[in-house]
Amino acid sequence: MRQESEIPVRVRQAVIGGPKPLICIPLVAAEKNELFDQAAEMVSLGPDLLEWRADGYRNIADIADGMDVLTALRSRIGDTPLIFTCRIAAEGGMQPLPQPDRLRIIQAAIRSGAIDLVDIELINDAAFIEGVRDAAKSHGVKLILSAHDFNTTPPADVIIAKLSQAQARGADVAKLAVMPTDYADVLTLLTATLRARSEVVKIPMITISMAGEGALTRLAGGLFGSDITFAAGRVSSAPGQLPIDALRQAMSLLYA
């Protein structure tokens, strides 16, 4: 039996950190119509959550100038919980943005009332994190603090320290994604996840080993303490994401 989070997070009908890990599908689109078409298609597949990777949206400044895009997106996804992510370029963001612009966009998304969680990176400075954290708390939006390494898998103690740091800095959910160079790295990620859940981290966690070698963590990571896994929608947002139907079928055998 998997170990649940001591402090689960409830967003709409979903419980992050509960009895079963959840499946999230990312929305990655450059244009409004493409975004809405994707959203309708992905909702029909029945994910537990959706994530809008807004850093891939061409007219991203529109989000700060008005709420029309987010309001319309919410109307298309109904009651499906939505993560808003405007990823920093240094950790895989799809376009460079000055930090003041990123902060303005993220805070506008939080104020929109259309999102349920917001994902920002631990590498942001303290003022940036505090600005997002305070806005999220004021508007009932849950905060994901994340770290990404697209080159290597650090030692287990470093992974645990990153997850602990996210918790200490006020995250509702701690996230870490790393790149394996071999299957030993995959075991390092899973071992660190289990230790973090058992020893240190009380909030929900998302831990991912990317690329082909790391596919196991997307299927079985929940057994070790990871609470959300990401499936590929029409467009993948990270290396190694699996189609939702295949992922759900495999997970049904593990979490029956």
140: CB partners within 8 A, 6+ apart: none
- CB 85 within 8 Å of CB 51: yes
> In the numeric block, which tokens belong to residue 93?
């963001």
- CB 238 within 8 Å of CB 177: yes
Closest CA to 157 of 192, 193, 197: 192
> In the numeric block, which tokens belong to residue 55?
């850093």
32 is catalytic: no
148 is catalytic: yes
Q: Given 139, 142, 148, 202, which residue is catalytic?
A: 148
122: CB partners within 8 A, 6+ apart: 129, 145, 146, 147, 162, 165, 166, 169
DSSP state of 226: B
Q: Given 20, 32, 137, 175, which residue is catalytic?
A: 175
Give the residue numbers marked as catalytic. 148, 175
